[in-house]
Amino acid sequence: MKLIIASNNRHKIEEIKAMLGVRFETVLGMREAGLELEVDENADTLEGNARKKAYEVFALADSMGIMEEGDAVLADDTGLLVDALDGAPGVRSARYATDGHDDAANRAKLLQELSGVPFEKRGAHFATAMVLRTKGAPDIEATGRVFGVITEKERGENGFGYDPLFLYEPAGKTFAEMNAEEKNGVSHRRNALSLVLAALN
């Protein structure tokens, strides 16, 4: 059985392979599977975007005749939800400041929006919605979360996106101050994958 990840992000593919490789003989990114597709992530929710990606990538792969019984497509969408901003940027996380994916501009806008908000009211969480669409089996949907606090300035050089602003309090570090192993051990994506794996089992 094979699993196609609806992404070409090497780090994401390796993380998923490490967890779900026990259930699938082959784990491939879209490029490795020979799939060329840009999915318009225009749903109103993270779950909606993950579902849209899973369905469209699955349909393309199936139409090419590369999906056999038991083969699956896994898609995800991730957002940062800030309590003081009523859950913003949420589904707009990647396009918070501009229509492009400008991480630095997104972080700058978030800090501006939270200007003057005290530490105890800067709670936030990352959420990753995942949809596993399998040929010949029901869909599996899961959402993993990790809770933290938005710092008042950027800290750390690792990671991407909002990681320099997301303080994971049990470790006393932002995600950007953690190495990949530390972050992957507690991340929202890891929590979502654990739920998917539990459902598979």
Residues with a known catalytic role: 77
DSSP 8-state class, residue 113: H
Token pair in block for residue 196: 């998917």
Give yes or no for a contact between 63 and 34, defined as CB atoms under 8 angstroms apart. no
Give the closest residue to 136 by CA, choosing from 73, 47, 192, 197: 73
Residue pointed to by tokens 């003057």: 116
Which run of H or of E encompasses 12?
A: helix 10-20
DSSP string, 34-85: T---------SSHHHHHHHHHHHHHHHHHHTT-PPTT-EEEEEEEEEEEGGG
Give the closest residue to 76 by CA, choosing from 138, 133, 158: 133
Instruction: Return the bridge partners of 38, or none.
Output: none
Give the closest residue to 6 by CA, choosing from 86, 68, 76, 107: 76
How far apart are the two ends of the chain, measured CA to CA in Å? 15
